[in-house]
Structure 1
Amino acid sequence: MDTLAPTQKLPGRGVRIAGAVYLLFWAALGISPSDRGAWLLENSLVVGLVALLWFARRAFRFSDASLYLILLFLALHAVGSHYTYSEVPYDAWWRTLTGQSLNEALGWQRNHFDRLVHFSYGLLLAYPIREFFLRVAEVRGFWGYFLPLDVTLSTSALYELIEWGAAELFGGDVGMHYLGTQGDVWDAHKDMALAGLGALIAVLVIAFINRRLKHDPAWEWSSRMKAGQKSS
């Protein structure tokens, strides 16, 4: 019988429930998106990521904490891809709840949902990226905190290049919705800066918590996974 090794067991029940909720949420938002072409472009990378995590699950599995963070980021992305990032009606939602305009209160002249998701990319995914390096490359100390920041910035730049290429290839409304610059010539630079800021905050918080705890839970998780894999 084909069974998983002790270190490759399935995620906890809470993560499985969260994953099922995300799939239902993603499917519901995929029924009638604002722009089907842009939705397909936005979700092509999501499908690739989920497929990669699924097929690599026997060789490498993230901790439940990392999986929660990944699912939260993907949920934010699902909202952006449903409405297109430049048209997510968060200001209308806020006005319904409070009777006030969030954009007016903060002096914003554009839709900033895309900025939130780029910031969240660094803030939410720095921990899983760090966990990957601790497990695969066995980094310690400074490199365990620097590499997540470095990878966040490099993958953010790669994504901006993909956006540019897709916008050039498809053109028209699909290309503009996917690019989502909203007339800001520095849009790509600001997106990368926010992703880097999110990752920087995340690694500083991780370093602070590890210092207070006097141990590194992510390193301990990675060590247990490797030890169990060797014994299986």
Structure 2
Amino acid sequence: MTPSATQRPRASLAYPAALLALFALFWLALAIRPWYRQDWLLENVVVFAAVPLFAFTARRLRFSDLAYTLLFVFLCAHEVGAHFTYAQVPYDEAFRRLSGQSLDALLGLRRNHYDRLVHFLFGLLLLPLAAELFRAEAPPRSALWRFLLPVLFIESLSAIFELIEWLAATVFGGDLGQAYLGTQGDVWDAQWDMLLALAGATLTQCLRFLAARRAPAAAV
């Protein structure tokens, strides 16, 4: 019997399952001898909560392969920061071994900027997932709200995470609190982190809307 035209085949979960398996291997590799075990545990609280949530709800709300891929990339970048602690990720040493030059010196950087990169990636990579979430659960009625709501959602998550960092630093204090907070002496660190998340989300949303204008059938 031919299925009705209104029926849509359920998307396979093989691809997100494969990404989950790859992430599990990556996570296990970086779980071995992290530089600061207690900070690693704190950094992974969000992973322990988010990954099972996405896994258990995948059948009810199956995101696109692109959204899952970008989520995978972001989580891998986060795990690198958790392994080394964000303020001590040795990207400059790695670049120096490859090129013989200091990346920080070339860019005029005075602190370790890996945390800033990941906050930017948070907005850049997770915006499509937020847009798909709104489209599935609370579809906006106008193009303006289709543009704004995912961006504002990402920014609100960034602000909530900054509050969590502040609370954790207050509760734990000492070296652990400082390692988790990762301000590196910058009193505007939280504001920079939220600004970069907003910039990443806005950039991706602009690219999505430009792509949709070139291909009007594409959903945003």
**Is this a same-fold pair by TM over 0.5?**
yes
> Could you tell me the TM-score, scaled by structure 2's length?
0.92
Does residue 1:11 correspond to 2:16, yes or no? no
Q: 1:207 aligns with which of 209, 215, 218?
A: 209
**How many angstroms does 1:96 deviate by?**
0.7
Taking the aligned partners of 1:88 and 1:135, their CA distance within structure 2 comes to 37
Q: Which residue of 2 aligns with 1:223?
A: none
Amino acid of the residue matched to residue 81 of structure 1? A
Does residue 1:182 correspond to 2:184, yes or no? yes
Residues 121, 7 of structure 1: alpha-carbon distance in 2 compared, 3 angstrom cutoff: farther
Amino acid of the residue matched to residue 63 of structure 1? S
**How many angstroms does 1:175 deviate by?**
0.8
Cα deviation, 1:72-126, whole Å, max 9, x if unaligned, reads 1000000000000000000001001111100000110000000000000000000
**How many angstroms does 1:214 deviate by?**
1.5
Q: Which residue of 2 aligns with 1:45?
A: 46
What is the 5 A alignment of 1:5-154?
Answer: 8-13=10-15, 15-140=16-141, 141-154=143-156
Aligned residues: 213
SS in 1 for 2:148: helix
SS in 2 for 1:92: helix
**How many angstroms does 1:10 deviate by?**
3.5
**How many angstroms does 1:8 deviate by?**
4.6
**How many angstroms does 1:7 deviate by?**
5.3
Taking the aligned partners of 1:10 and 1:97, their CA distance within structure 2 comes to 40
**How many angstroms does 1:6 deviate by?**
6.3
Q: Which residue of 1 aligns with 2:4?
A: none
SS in 2 for 1:182: coil
Contact preservation (8 Å) 1:38, 1:177: yes
SS in 1 for 2:184: coil
User: Which segments of 5 or more consecutive residues in structure 1 lack a partner in the other structure?
Assistant: 219-232
Taking the aligned partners of 1:8 and 1:80, their CA distance within structure 2 comes to 36
Taking the aligned partners of 1:93 and 1:38, their CA distance within structure 2 comes to 23
Residues 137, 213 of structure 1: alpha-carbon distance in 2 compared, 3 angstrom cutoff: same
**How many angstroms does 1:12 deviate by?**
4.1
SS in 2 for 1:34: coil
Which stretch of the first structure deviates more once superposed, 113-122 or 138-147? 138-147
Taking the aligned partners of 2:70 and 2:18, their CA distance within structure 1 comes to 14
User: Which segments of 5 or more consecutive residues in structure 2 lack a partner in the other structure?
Assistant: 1-6
Residues 55, 17 of structure 1: alpha-carbon distance in 2 compared, 3 angstrom cutoff: closer
Amino acid of the residue matched to residue 51 of structure 2? V
Residues 166, 7 of structure 1: alpha-carbon distance in 2 compared, 3 angstrom cutoff: farther
Identical pairs, percent: 46
Contact preservation (8 Å) 1:84, 1:178: yes
Larger fraction in helix: 1
Does residue 1:160 correspond to 2:162, yes or no? yes
